[in-house]
Amino acid sequence: MKALVTGANGFTGSHLVNLLASQGHSVVGLVRRTSNLDRLDGLDVQLVYGDITDAAVLKSAMAGVDVVFHIAACVDLGIVDAARMERVNVTGTRTVLGAIRAQTTPPKLIYCSTIGIYGDTAGQVIDETYQRTQQGFSSAYDETKFKAQQLVNQHVAEGYSAVSLMPGGIFGADDPHFGPVVKLFLKGRLPIWPGCDRITGIVHVDDLVQAMVLAVEKAPSGEHFIISAGELSIGEMFQILGDAAGVKAPADAPKPLVRAIGGILDPIGKAFSWNAPLNNELVHYIYDRCVRISGEKAMRDLGWQPRPVPEILTGIAKQLTSA
């Protein structure tokens, strides 16, 4: 199999490149000229340099490709460059789809979406049949990924092959988002944390990319798969990590204090184009938005076998404390 991976140098993209190369597949990776390529060191991948909105570069990169893994995305919460997020997540996806259609034999698309497209489920555990009920969007990220998913759905409706994967929280020792928080915690430097009762779905990045490869082999076009190994609260997550590393779990920060700090920092961040560590959007995600999910369909239909959540967290703790 010859595969193109967009966002190949990123967290998920680099793990996918590693898996594909280890299985003997030919891999082309789309990266920007300014990208940090450290994650791709030593991996057998042909790099193509260009922007995700460059139709000519994408069309050329897809020549002879059997499958396109569209991983590239702009991910952020809080004070974000909304125009850039729209360009990468929506225009970029539109450009990828156009390049696929321009091929003599259009390759299959595996699209990395997000559970955020479902909106707030108000604590209801949902599967892929759930119809979004939330009015409006909790963030620019959710909105742009929703728009991109609509484009992929239309691509399928017009007769092209695509499968969409909606992962929960993606974890790994090299996770650039929550990873720094985990590292601080394991060093005993995180005495409190907000929203310890917030429930989240978790998947290890290596299990996520395994699901992507299984989707190439086993999923009919048009299928959607929620990718989650299971759910637990943030407090339970810290407890498992702490038990593995001998570190006490943080106390739950007082909710009124967190809301007050977010309310103070939010306008300051907007005034100075600073993405504050706590802002109104993050507070909303912590306390007011609850998306609960089931990954049973992927396990059943793809034969996907993710490692259990405690094993994911214990493994990460051991990796980080031994590094």
Cα pseudo-dihedral 14, 19, 24, 30, rounded to 10: -20
Residue 100 lies in a domain: yes
Tell me: the pLDDT tens digits for 15-46?
Answer: 999 999 999 999 999 999 999 999 999 999 99
Report yes or no on 10 lying in a domain: yes
Residue 245 lies in a domain: no
Cross-strand partners of 27: 3
pTM assigned to the model = 0.95
The confidence score (pLDDT) of residue 276 equals: 84
Domain count, the chain: 1
Query: Which residues are CB-contacts of 239 (< 8 A; sequence separation ≥ 6)?
Result: 249
Environment class of 119 (CB within 10 Å of its CB; exposed 0-12, middle 13-18, buried 19+): buried
> Which residues, 6 or more positions from 72, have their beta carbon under 8 angstroms from its beta carbon?
6, 7, 10, 13, 30, 52, 88, 92
The pLDDT, as a whole number, for residue 97 is 98
Length of the chain: 323
The conformational region for residue 230 under phi > 0 = left, psi -120 to 50 = alpha, else beta, is left
For position 251, what pLDDT does the model report?
96
164 lies in a domain? Answer: yes
| Domain CATH for 73 | 3.40.50.720
Tens of pLDDT, residue by residue over 226-244, are: 999 999 999 999 999 999 9
Tell me: pLDDT of 221 over 80.
Answer: yes
Residue 16 covered by a domain: yes
Statement: residue 269 has pLDDT above 90: no
pLDDT at residue 307 greater than cutoff 90: yes
134-155 as b/e: b if 16+ CB within 10 A: eeebbbbbbbbbbbbbebbeeb
Summarised one tens digit per residue, pLDDT across range 179-207 is 999 999 999 999 999 999 999 999 999 99
142 confidence band (pLDDT: 50, 70, 90):
very high
Please state the rounded mean pLDDT for residues 263-270: 90
- Indicate if the pLDDT at residue 119 is higher than 90: yes
Question: Is residue 291 within 8 Å of 134, Cβ to Cβ?
Answer: no
Quote the pLDDT of residue 304: 98
Instruction: Band the pLDDT of 79: cuts 50, 70, 90.
Output: low
The residue range of the domain holding 214 is 2-174+202-229+292-307
- Predicted local confidence at residue 323, as pLDDT: 67
247 belongs to a structural domain: no
